Amino acid sequence: MKPDPVEEGKRWLQQARQDIDDAQYNQAGSRYHLTCFLAQQAAEKALKAYLYAQGETMVWGHSVADLARQAAAYDDSFEALIGAGGGLDRHYIPTRYPNGLPGGLPAEAFDADDAEKALGRAQRIIRRVEKTFESTRE
């Protein structure tokens, strides 16, 4: 049986909220590389939540900017999030893998400022997606 699009979207949004909470937890513990990665993941899942809720059945890819661009095909307001998505995309690989950096370790390469910016970008995207789900209740 095919899942209800809105319910599937809500499932993805719930995980995005959990990821942003985990990102904040890691920020409090000065695990800035994980904060940045989880912020990227939260934004990715939030945008996938929106796309699933629009009836898409196969949402592929990990680029937050690309997903925001795809969401903008349904709602122009998502265009304003493409830049934030690009900022988060920079955290997909280098936050996890030493070979994603020219030297050093991910655990040493990211700082509090990086984490704060990543969280802000992800929270902005999540809030925008949440608004679309709020409007479906009306």
Q: In the predicted model, what is the mean pLDDT of residues 51-56?
A: 97
Domain range list for the chain: 5-136
pLDDT on residue 137: 59
CA dist., res. 23 & res. 74, Å (int) = 28
Q: What is the mean pLDDT of the chain?
A: 96
Residue with tokens 């040493």: 108
CA dist., res. 51 & res. 57, Å (int) = 9
> At 115, is the pLDDT very low, low, confident or very high (cuts 50, 70, 90)?
very high
> Which segments within 11-126 are labelled E, that is strand?
none
Reading the block at residue 105, the tokens are 């370790």
User: Which superfamily does 5-136 belong to?
Assistant: Nucleotidyltransferases  domain 2 (1.20.120.330)
Reading the block at residue 132, the tokens are 């679309």
